[in-house]
């Protein structure tokens, strides 16, 4: 099974972000931190805003699956293989997932 060369890992990361938001919204306080400066929360919002992360994950996953966007991203300045392209997209999704996890963690800390 080729996980990196296919979009399975991409959809897996997206699914984890969605599940994390659904489960965490049940336990989050009404007000959560939504912006940080030097690791310190300086802006707060409603706990429903945690769903902005899965929405972003879905948008990135859908858009990067389109052939026209994939062609543009893989042939712009350097030619990327399918594996390199998927690793690039999965890395971006991973960063969004880490940000979502940090917001959830900071809500309880």
Residue 13 backbone phi and psi in degrees, to 5: -60, -40
pLDDT of residue 104: 95
Long-range contacts, stretch 73-82, CB < 8 angstroms, 24+ apart: 82/5
The position carrying tokens 């699956």 is 65
Q: What is the pLDDT of residues 2-31, one digit of tens each?
A: 666 678 999 999 999 999 999 999 999 999
pLDDT of residue 71: 81
pLDDT of residue 4: 61
pLDDT of residue 5: 62
Cα 41 from Cα 37, distance rounded (Å)? 6
Q: What is the pLDDT of residues 60-76, one digit of tens each?
A: 999 988 888 888 877 77
Count of residues making up the chain: 109
**pTM score over 0.75:** yes
Would you list the domain boundaries of the chain? 8-108
Q: What is the pLDDT of residues 76-101, one digit of tens each?
A: 777 778 888 889 899 999 999 999 99
Count of other CB atoms within 10 angstroms of residue 46 = 11
């Amino acid at each position: 099974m080729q996980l990196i060369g296919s979009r399975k890992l991409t959809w897996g990361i997206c699914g984890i972000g969605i599940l994390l938001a659904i489960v965490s919204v049940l336990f989050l306080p009404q007000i959560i931190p939504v912006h940080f400066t030097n690791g310190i929360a300086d802006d707060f919002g409603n706990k429903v805003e945690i769903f902005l992360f899965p929405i972003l994950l879905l948008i990135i996953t859908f858009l990067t699956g389109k052939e026209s966007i994939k062609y543009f991203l893989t042939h712009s300045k350097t030619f990327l293989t399918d594996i390199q392209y998927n690793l690039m997209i999965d890395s971006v999704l991973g960063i969004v997932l880490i940000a979502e996890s940090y917001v959830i963690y900071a809500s309880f800390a």
